[in-house]
Amino acid sequence: MRALQVLLTLIPFVWTIGCLPFANRVHPFVLGLPFLGFWVLMGIPIGFLCLLAIWKLEHRGTRR
């Protein structure tokens, strides 16, 4: 369980910082944005979904 949380924490970091040099090599436009801008903007929902999954994992057994 703890390893999954660490992995989910690393995904947005690797998406934004680690893969950025690879995404910078592509030059098409996606939804009217340069690909690099689209890549960075897609990091926001991916980070949100990873943090949501971590929150769900931690609060799985608790009820209000």
pLDDT in tens, 51-62: 999 999 888 867
E strands, the chain, in order: 29-30, 33-34
- Per-residue pLDDT of 30-42, as tens digits, reads 888 888 888 889 9
Report how far apart, in Å, the C-alpha atoms of 43 and of each of 32, 54, 62 are.
17, 16, 29
Nearest 5°: CA angle at 5, between 53 and 24? 80
Specify the pairing of strand 29-30 against strand 33-34.
antiparallel
The pTM score is 0.78
Would the CA dihedral through 48, 49, 54, 57 be positive or negative? positive
Which 8-state DSSP code applies to residue 64? -
